[in-house]
Structure 1
Amino acid sequence: MNGAPVVPLFVPGDRPERFEKAASSGADAVIIDLEDAVAPERKEAARRAAVTASLALPVFVRVNAAGTPWHAEDLAALSGAALAGIILPKAEDPATLATLRALLPDEGVVVALVESARGLAGARELARAAGRLAFGSMDYAADLGCAHTREALLTARAELVLASRLGGLPAPLDGVTAAIGDEALTESDARHAAELGFGGKLLIHPRQVGPALRGFAPGEEEVAWARRVLASEGDGAVKMDGAMIDAPVRMRAERILARAGG
């Protein structure tokens, strides 16, 4: 289920001069944002920049949410564009995801960004229509009126991991860390997400790439343990360091090495 962590980086769609910098940041993909980062009067310019962007990394576009005045125009502009995927904010309706999927090449991915109580309640249905789930934690907390803390959001995060597993999807992406200058917090947030079963994290500044990757990376002791487990003999249960090693333990070891890049 979990491979190497994925850390895509948002960049405002109306700031094309930042696209190349985002692509050279060490992120796995660039997300050109047409939604929150772009003022209404700049939406059209952002669409044009997104459609014409040519970068070395995969390019995703976050469109405006369904029901907003800009959604239909976003879809019309992106139809036929050579994109790696589309991110739908405020995802709640699987039918909207299917519409977006039809705009993409065969290998394109639709990411459902869950940001509301209704979206979380329907996460398992969204997982059947999306290529991946992601968590918009700040919008979700605002919708519920709850604190934006790990404790308050634990149930929501756990549900997205479970919904992704049930839907046969890659592990979900966690939401952004707003404090772009706090590298320790970004790393800690990423580590917390990894512990819960997330497969990556959305980022909003190039400075967050390194800390996020460090947070998802297993420690040296974990990697050494995983290699010893997989080197242990036998397909059934064997004893190592006074503990029994069986199929679930080997599966955990495989996932640790996948997070470490092999």
Structure 2
Amino acid sequence: MNAATQRSSARIADARHFLFVPGNRPERFDKAVASGADVVILDLEDAVPAAEKELARDAVRRWLDAGGEAVVRINAADTPYAREDIALARHPNVISIMLPKAAADSALAQVAALSPVIALIETATGVASVEAVASCPGVVRLALGTIDLALDLDILSDDDRLFDPIRLRFTVASRAAGIAAPVEGVTANFRDRGANEAAMRHARALGFRAKMCIHPQQLATVSAALRPSESEIEQARRIVAADNASGGTAVALDGRMIDRPVVARAHRLLADAAA
């Protein structure tokens, strides 16, 4: 892995929010970069109608040629647009490719050999092979596409928490593969900031550490959801202080036994708060 690839992979691994911009709206590219998003995703897939796929690809390439840097979401491997989209992965200013409908197959291996990959898993096949996807060399992060997954599974309920068992599986697969924590799916109503923050807080409780966004208004609420609360910070400080005072032996605090995993979690939370 060369230095540029290492930098790109680290940037993807550290990101908290991923902001989508339609590839056929080049006037929005610079605005998205200036929005404060950790990573901008130029979208050639769902946001672009079939008649404008080529125009969008050309617009993205021109912007990259001019010095812009972004993730590019390409079209799925089984579409007629994939071959030329994949060619963009070789562009030096593409920091990562988001591969939709990702699964453990030859398409994933092909793209991962060209660029760091965010594997967007949104089909039953992808979920069934999530451990192999996470372990594929070149995959930096898993992302959960809840809207397409609900369609693929023919789930009629709007209760997004039906996907919690899958979220936990993503977290375990990511941890076991030694890659960054997974990325939560989009909240479609970008005006509902409370719903966006609540979705991220819930996903965070299941081990997710980032979220895909479709509007700059969603960035601040994602950041807020990932930031430990003052009460959590204070409790973590008390746990660390009690541990220090005990000399490292198990000690009770507020009727609860404070052992090594609890102390380690408190240190991790304080590190997150400092970051």
Structure-1-length-normalised TM-score: 0.90
- Which of 94, 115, 125 is the matching residue for 1:118? 125
Candidates 120, 144, 156, aligned match of 2:153? 144
Residue 177 (1) aligns with residue 187 (2): yes
- Counterpart-to-counterpart distance in 2, 1:12 and 1:19: 9
Question: Which segment is superposed worse, 71-80 or 177-186?
Answer: 71-80
29-38 or 219-228, larger mean C-alpha shift: 219-228
CA distance in 2, matches of 1:33, 1:61: 6
Q: Tell me the alpha carbon deviations over residues 146-198 of structure 1, each in whole angstroms, 9 at most, x when there is no partner.
A: 12423321112111111111211111000000001111110111111111110
1:240, distance to aligned residue in structure 2 (A) = 3.2
Aligned to 1:92: 103
Percentage identity across paired residues of the two chains: 43
SS of equivalent to 2:125: helix
Distance in 2 of aligned mates of 1:238 and 1:99: 52
**What is residue 71 of structure 1 aligned with on the other side?**
82
CA distance in 1, matches of 2:228, 2:160: 20
User: 2:214 pairs with 204, 221, 231, which one?
Assistant: 204
Match of 2:273 in 1: 260
The letter for the 1-side match of 2:135 is R
Q: Residue 191 of structure 1 corresponds to which residue in structure 2?
A: 201
Aligned residue for 1:239, secondary structure, equals: strand
Give 5+ residue unaligned stretches, structure 2: 1-12
Q: How many residues align?
A: 256
The corresponding residue for 2:163 is 153
1:133 maps to 142
Q: Would the aligned equivalents of 1:157 and 1:196 in 2 still touch at CA under 8 Å?
A: yes
Q: Report the secondary structure of 1:91's partner residue.
A: coil
Contact 2:89 2:96 in 1 (8 A): no
Q: Judging changes above 3 Å, is the alpha-carbon distance between structure 1 residues 7 and 133 closer, same or farther for their aligned structure 2 residues?
A: same
Question: Alignment partner of 1:140: what SS?
Answer: helix
1:197-246 deviations in Å (ceiling 9; x for gaps): 10110000011111111122221110122233334313442333443222
After superposition, the Cα gap between the structure-2 partners of 1:171 and 1:212, relative to the gap in structure 1 and judged at 3 Å, is same
Higher RCO by CA contacts (8 Å cutoff, separation 6 or greater): 1
Flag the structure with higher helix content.
2
Name the SS for the 1:36 alignment partner.
coil
> Which of 248, 261, 274 pairs up with 1:248?
261
Structure 1 residues 203 and 77: CA distance shift in structure 2, 3 A: same
SS in 2 for 1:202: strand
5+ long unaligned stretches in structure 1 = none
